[in-house]
Chains A and B, each alone.
Chain A
Amino acid sequence: MSSAPLAPLHLAVALDGTGWHPASWREPAARPQELFTAGYWAGLVTEAERGLLDFVTIEDGLGPQSSHPFEPDDRTDQVRGRLDAVQTAARVAPLTRHIGLVPTAVVTHTEPFHLSKAIATLDHVSNGRAGLRVRITARPDEAAHFGRRTIPRVGAYDSPAAREVVGGLFDEAADHVEVVRRLWDSWEDDAEIRDVATGRFVDRGKLHHIDFEGRYFSVRGPSVTPRPPQGQPVVTALAHGTLPYRLVARQADIGYVTPHDTGQARAIVAEIRAEQEAAGRAGQPLHVFADLVVFLDDAPGAAAARRERLDALAGGPYPSDARVFTGTPAGLADLLQEWRAAGLTGYRLRPAVLGHDLPAITRSLVPELQRRGVFRRAYEAGTLRGLLGLARPANRYAA
C-alpha cells in the first residue's frame, strides 16, 4: 500500500426491497409486509444516517423486478413491486438531516424537464442533500408500458445487436442528463430579487432559455424550479462496460463499478479516467465507487452459512454483477482498504439482507473503519456535495 495519506473513504449503501439477495425477504429481520410503507424506508435511511454514511441510493424501475435481464418473469417467490424512488427519498428527507438521498430514475421513457425539477425540489426539501442515479432500460416490456417506442429484444449484453441498442440508449441518457443539468443552471442563484421599488420579483436577465437541441430532445427552458441549494445535485450512474463508463466520464459525479479484484478495479478506473480526459473533463472531480454485495456477521463462518441458506431458498447461487463479500466487518474493512490502492474513492455497499446487513454496516463496519482512521466520526458538511468533497459548481450561464 502507498505510504501517502489517502483521502477519506466514502461509503454509501444501496437500498432495494428487503435487500439484494432474492431470498432476503424470508429472513426474520426482513419485514416484507412493510415494504410499501413510509415507516419502512424511514427506518432504513435513519439507520444509514446513524452510521454517518455519505448517502443512500434507492433502486427503481418501470416494470416489475425480474430474475431475467431483458424480460419479466412470472416468479411468485421473490419481492415484486416498488414505490417511486424520488418520492420515497422526498418522504424521508424531512426525517433526516445529514445523509445524502440518491433516488434512481429511468431516463429512457421519462422527460428530462420533469426529472430536473423533481431532483431540484428534492434538493430544496432536503436542504442540499439530493443526488440522482440515472439508469437506462433496454427491456422491451418496459417500452410497451409507454407505447411510444419499441425496443428490440436483445439476447445478451455483449452481442453486436445489444451494443447497438444499448449504445443508443446511453447516448440518449447522456443528452438527458445534459438537459437536466442545464435546467438546474437555468436560474442564476440570485435571480429572485423581490425588488419592491420596481415591482419585479425576478431579474429576468438571470433566467435562461437552455435551447437544447439534440437527436433525442429539444428543450427550451428555463426550469420552473429555481436553482437547487447545491447548484448541481450529485449525478451518479452504475457502469459495467465501455459505454456506461463513457456516460460516467461525460456526465456523472460518481460512477459505481463492479470489479471483482484489485487488478480489475485498477483497469476500470484507468478506463474511466481516459474517457474523462477524452471528454475534456480531466481536471474535474469524479468519484469511482466499487459496488459490493455484503453478507456481514461478527462470528466467523456465520455470513457464509447465511448466504448458503439464502441460496438454497432461492434455488441456486445468487448471480450478482458485483463481487459478493461474505465475512466479518473487519474482513470487509481490510478489503475496502486494500482496493483503494486501485484508485477507488469510495464504495457503495449492497446489503444482502437490509434488516441484518445494514445495521452490521452502521454498527460494526463503520466503528471498525473509524478505529482505523479512514472514516468520519461526525458529519462534517451540510450538503451531499460537501460530504463528497465536491465544490458547489459555478452557474454555466452566469456572466
Chain B
Amino acid sequence: MSKPLKRIHLAAHFPGVNNTTVWSDPEAGSHIDFGSFTHFAQTAERAKFDFLFLAEGLRLREQGGKIYDLDVVGRPDTFTVLAALAAVTERLGLTGTINSTFNEPYEVARQFASLDHLSGGRAAWNVVTSWDAFTGENFRRGGFLPKEERYSRAEEFLATANELLDSWHGDEIVADQATGTFLRDAKAGSFVHTGQHFDIHGRFNVPRSPQGRPVIFQAGDSDEGREFAAAGADAIFSRHTTLEAGQAFYTDVKRRLAAYGRRPEELLVLPAATFVLGDTDAEAEELAREVRRRQVSGATALKHLEFVWNRDLSSYDPEGPLPGIDPYVGGPHIAEGRAQVRMYRDPLATAREWRELAAANNWSIRDLVINTGNRQTFVGSPTTVARDIDHFVQSDASDGFILVPHITPGGLDAFADKVVPLLQEQGVFRSEYEGPTLRHQLGLAHPDDARGEWQAAS
C-alpha cells in the first residue's frame, strides 16, 4: 500500500537553560541580547520552519540550596521577546510557554490576543502547569495550589481564556467615521465564567485577533497530560525520540482524540529533538561524542546523579565509580525547579540499574551520565539526518520535530542550509509558507470555520 507522503513540521527551540547548551563553545553567543533572537528567528524563517519556540522558567534553579551555576542561567520574558520578534520576521509562528498557575486568564488572554494582532496571526501558547511552592515564592499567589489540582486549574484556565477570546466575534468594530458608530455591539467582549478556580465576569478589552485564538500546544507525558492535550491542544510536545517509543506515544494520543469528537490530524505530535551534523556520518559521530562530553562535565555529571541520589555528592570523583550509598528517599528534593527529577520515580531501582550498567561497561560516573542521559537524536551527514527525520515522520512516530541546537544563536544555520533543501527536494517539507498565519503552516482550521466566518486565504 502506498500512502501519500506526510508533510513534515519543523520548529526551532531557542536553546535555554539546560545542559544541552554548550555555552563554553567559542561560537556560543548571548542568550539574552536581542541580536541572538533575531539571528535565530530569521534563520528559522529562512528555512521555512513552522514556528520558533520559547520555554519559560519562573524561578532560577537551585540545587543543594544554591543557585545552579553550571548551565546557562537567565532568560528574557516570553511575551516581550515574541512581540519584538514579530517585527523582524513575517511568517514564522511565535510560540511561548506560559504557566497557568502563576497567571490569571484575563491577563494571559489579552496578552495572547495582543501578540496575535501584533504578529498578524502567528501566536501560539504552550500551556504548562506548576504547583510547587518553590516557584510560588516569587508570586503573591504563593505555592498554595495542591499538586492534584494543577491540571484541573490548567483545563479551566484554558477554557476560561478561550471564553474571553471568543467574547469578540470579529465584526464588532465598524469605525464608521461618517455615522459615528465605532462599535456595532455595546456589549462586545461580555463574559461570565463561574467555575471551581475562576469566578469572573465583565468585558474583555481586546478585539478578535487574526487567528481568533492562539494555537494551543501542550507538553507532558503523563496520562493527565495526554488527556489534556487530546481534549484541547493543537499540538503536543513529547520527549520520545526512538522510533518504537515515538510510535507508541503517537498511537496513544491520536487514539484519545475520538472521545472528544476530534480527528487524528487535529493534534500534531512534535517531539523535541537535537542534532549534530558532519560532512560524513563518521565525522558527525565523532563530533557528537565531543559535544556530549562538553555537555556533561564532571561537575554536571555529579549534579545529575544527585537528581536520583537526592543527597550531596560533591565529594565523589566523577571519573570514579558510582556511590556505594543508596539514594535518600523522602524529604524535600535537593534539586528545585527541575522537571527532570520527576523522571526518576523509583530512585532505589534507578540506582541499582545504573550501578549494574556502570559495572558491566566499566563506566565512571561521568561515563554513565553521558551514556544514559539525553543523547543526540539525529547524528550524521545532512543526507542521513534528512533521511532519518523523514523516516521517523513517515513511520508515524511523529508529525515533525522541535529542533534544539546546542549552540546559540548560530546552531540552526547548518541545518537550514544543508538539511532543509534535501527535505524540500523530497517533497516532504514546504518551500513556501502556506499562508499568513501559523494555523496555515500547521494545517489547522481557524476556530471560526465552524461558524463560516473566516476565509482561509488573505
Mark A residues whose CB is within 8 Å of B: 23, 25-28, 30, 32-33, 35-38, 42, 61-65, 72, 74-84, 86-88, 90-95, 109-111, 113-114, 117-118, 120-122, 124-125, 127, 141-142, 144-148, 187, 192, 194, 196, 199-204, 207, 216-222, 224-226, 313
* The one of A28, A61, A83, A94 that contacts B87, using a Cβ cutoff of 8 Å: A94
Interface residues in B38-80 by Cβ distance below 8 A to A read 38, 57-60, 66-67, 69-77, 79-80
With a cutoff of 8 Å between Cβ atoms, the chain B residues found around residue A35 in the complex are: 175
For the complex, give the distance between the alpha carbons of A32 and B207 in Å. 13
For the complex, give the distance between the alpha carbons of A121 and B36 in Å. 13
Check: B137 CB closer than 8 A to any chain A CB.
Answer: yes
For the complex, give the distance between the alpha carbons of A303 and B187 in Å. 34
* The one of A75, A109, A200, A216 that contacts B107, using a Cβ cutoff of 8 Å: A109
Check: B362 CB closer than 8 A to any chain A CB.
Answer: no
For the complex, give the distance between the alpha carbons of A110 and B103 in Å. 8
Residue from the set B83, B84, B110 with the largest chain A CB neighbour count within 10 Å:
B83
For the complex, give the distance between the alpha carbons of A100 and B380 in Å. 48
Q: A109-B107, A199-B300, A202-B74 are in contact. Are A77 and B181 (CB under 8 A)?
A: yes
Interface residues in B8-24 by Cβ distance below 8 A to A read 23-24
9 contacts between A and B (CB under 8 A): A36-B206, A61-B205, A83-B114, A141-B203, A147-B198, A192-B73, A217-B140, A218-B140, A220-B59
With a cutoff of 8 Å between Cβ atoms, the chain A residues found around residue B84 in the complex are: 90-91, 93-94, 125
- Taking a contact as CB atoms under 8 Å apart, the answer to whether A82 and B205 are in contact is yes
- Count class of interface residues, chain B: 35 or more
With a cutoff of 8 Å between Cβ atoms, the chain A residues found around residue B207 in the complex are: 36, 81
**Chain A proximity mask over B119-153: 1 for CB below 8 Å, otherwise 0:** 11000000000000000011111100000000000
- Taking a contact as CB atoms under 8 Å apart, the answer to whether B83 and A91 are in contact is yes
For the complex, give the distance between the alpha carbons of A380 and B422 in Å. 50
For the complex, give the distance between the alpha carbons of A233 and B25 in Å. 32
For the complex, give the distance between the alpha carbons of A244 and B173 in Å. 35
For the complex, give the distance between the alpha carbons of A33 and B206 in Å. 14
* The one of B38, B74, B81, B205 that contacts A81, using a Cβ cutoff of 8 Å: B205
Closest to B140 in A: A217
Determine the main DSSP class of B at the interface with A: loop
Q: A80-B183, A202-B69 are in contact. Are A221 and B80 (CB under 8 A)?
A: no
* The one of A194, A203, A225 that contacts B24, using a Cβ cutoff of 8 Å: A194
Residue from the set A25, A38, A64, A224 with the largest chain B CB neighbour count within 10 Å:
A224
Nearest CB of A to B91, in Å: 14
Residue from the set B80, B173, B180, B188 with the largest chain A CB neighbour count within 10 Å:
B80
* The one of A118, A196, A224 that contacts B57, using a Cβ cutoff of 8 Å: A224
- Taking a contact as CB atoms under 8 Å apart, the answer to whether A141 and B186 are in contact is no
For the complex, give the distance between the alpha carbons of A204 and B63 in Å. 12
With a cutoff of 8 Å between Cβ atoms, the chain A residues found around residue B32 in the complex are: 124, 225-226
Q: A94-B38, A109-B107 are in contact. Are A26 and B70 (CB under 8 A)?
A: no
With a cutoff of 8 Å between Cβ atoms, the chain B residues found around residue A118 in the complex are: 77, 79-80
Name 11 extra pairs, CB < 8 A, besides A36-B206, A75-B183, A216-B140: A32-B177, A38-B86, A81-B206, A88-B83, A109-B106, A111-B140, A117-B80, A118-B79, A194-B23, A219-B140, A220-B138
- Taking a contact as CB atoms under 8 Å apart, the answer to whether B118 and A91 are in contact is yes
For the complex, give the distance between the alpha carbons of A3 and B87 in Å. 47
With a cutoff of 8 Å between Cβ atoms, the chain B residues found around residue A145 in the complex are: 106, 200-204
With a cutoff of 8 Å between Cβ atoms, the chain A residues found around residue B77 in the complex are: 114, 117-118, 120-121, 225
Residue from the set B38, B76, B198, B206 with the largest chain A CB neighbour count within 10 Å:
B76
For the complex, give the distance between the alpha carbons of A94 and B60 in Å. 28
Closest to A28 in B: B177
With a cutoff of 8 Å between Cβ atoms, the chain A residues found around residue B115 in the complex are: 84, 87
Check: B184 CB closer than 8 A to any chain A CB.
Answer: yes
- Taking a contact as CB atoms under 8 Å apart, the answer to whether B205 and A204 are in contact is no
- Taking a contact as CB atoms under 8 Å apart, the answer to whether A117 and B114 are in contact is no
With a cutoff of 8 Å between Cβ atoms, the chain A residues found around residue B209 in the complex are: 36
Q: A84-B111, A146-B106 are in contact. Are A125 and B138 (CB under 8 A)?
A: no
For the complex, give the distance between the alpha carbons of A87 and B34 in Å. 15
Nearest CB of A to B23, in Å: 6
Check: B271 CB closer than 8 A to any chain A CB.
Answer: no
With a cutoff of 8 Å between Cβ atoms, the chain A residues found around residue B188 in the complex are: 80-81
* The one of A28, A80, A124 that contacts B76, using a Cβ cutoff of 8 Å: A124
Check: B297 CB closer than 8 A to any chain A CB.
Answer: yes
Check: B290 CB closer than 8 A to any chain A CB.
Answer: no
* The one of B71, B79, B137, B185 that contacts A87, using a Cβ cutoff of 8 Å: B79
- Taking a contact as CB atoms under 8 Å apart, the answer to whether B111 and A87 are in contact is yes
* The one of A83, A94, A187, A221 that contacts B206, using a Cβ cutoff of 8 Å: A83
Closest to B199 in A: A147
Q: A80-B188, A118-B80 are in contact. Are A94 and B118 (CB under 8 A)?
A: no
With a cutoff of 8 Å between Cβ atoms, the chain B residues found around residue A141 in the complex are: 202-203
With a cutoff of 8 Å between Cβ atoms, the chain A residues found around residue B300 in the complex are: 199
Check: B33 CB closer than 8 A to any chain A CB.
Answer: yes
With a cutoff of 8 Å between Cβ atoms, the chain B residues found around residue A224 in the complex are: 57-60, 74-75
Closest to A204 in B: B67
For the complex, give the distance between the alpha carbons of A120 and B32 in Å. 11
Check: B328 CB closer than 8 A to any chain A CB.
Answer: no
Check: B189 CB closer than 8 A to any chain A CB.
Answer: yes
Check: B287 CB closer than 8 A to any chain A CB.
Answer: no
For the complex, give the distance between the alpha carbons of A75 and B184 in Å. 10
Check: B344 CB closer than 8 A to any chain A CB.
Answer: no
Check: B299 CB closer than 8 A to any chain A CB.
Answer: yes
With a cutoff of 8 Å between Cβ atoms, the chain A residues found around residue B187 in the complex are: 74
For the complex, give the distance between the alpha carbons of A285 and B187 in Å. 46
- Taking a contact as CB atoms under 8 Å apart, the answer to whether A225 and B118 are in contact is no
Interface residues in B306-352 by Cβ distance below 8 A to A read none
* The one of A124, A147, A199 that contacts B297, using a Cβ cutoff of 8 Å: A199
With a cutoff of 8 Å between Cβ atoms, the chain A residues found around residue B59 in the complex are: 220, 224
For the complex, give the distance between the alpha carbons of A30 and B324 in Å. 75
With a cutoff of 8 Å between Cβ atoms, the chain B residues found around residue A26 in the complex are: 177, 180
- Taking a contact as CB atoms under 8 Å apart, the answer to whether B76 and A84 are in contact is no
With a cutoff of 8 Å between Cβ atoms, the chain B residues found around residue A36 in the complex are: 117, 173, 206-207, 209
- Taking a contact as CB atoms under 8 Å apart, the answer to whether B200 and A201 are in contact is no
- Taking a contact as CB atoms under 8 Å apart, the answer to whether A94 and B114 are in contact is no
- Taking a contact as CB atoms under 8 Å apart, the answer to whether B60 and A199 are in contact is no
Closest to B38 in A: A94
Nearest CB of A to B213, in Å: 16
Check: B357 CB closer than 8 A to any chain A CB.
Answer: no
Nearest CB of B to A354, in Å: 15
Nearest CB of A to B353, in Å: 27
